[in-house]
Amino acid sequence: MKELAAIRAVVLDAEQQQARNHEISHWLHKFNDACYEMEDLKDEFEIQALRRQVLEQGSILACRFRMGNKIKKANEMLNEIAANKAKFPLTQKHETNVLHRQRETYS
């Protein structure tokens, strides 16, 4: 997904500018939501893969159709975020050490 790569390339700059620009902060929040959405989608794929080993062939098609729709919606969300990125004076900043953020969950 080239859109995701393009967004990630400017996240570091956006994080630095978000304190001074409310719109960038909002855009960054939407980006983070999209990342969490993609994580959930990946987790659901893994669950479906395990289910596929147990279920009959007929239900696999229904699973693929549902997952295809979810992928399409996630891709549309990323396209919108990538398009909105152009509104901000963000530059591509690359870190040599990539930090993996843990998703915060609340019960």
Is 103 part of a structural domain of the chain? no
Q: What are the distances in angstroms from CA 83 to CA 4, 14, 97? A: 11, 15, 27
pLDDT of residue 99: 45
Nearest to 72 by CA among 1, 13, 5: 1
How many domains is the chain built from?
1
- Average pLDDT for 56-71: 75
Domain carrying residue 41: 2-85
* Pairwise CA distance, residues 43 & 6, whole Å: 23
Nearest to 94 by CA among 4, 3, 8: 8
Residue 56 confidence class, pLDDT cut points 50, 70, 90: low
Is 98 part of a structural domain of the chain? no
Radius of gyration of the chain (CA): 17
Is 42 part of a structural domain of the chain? yes
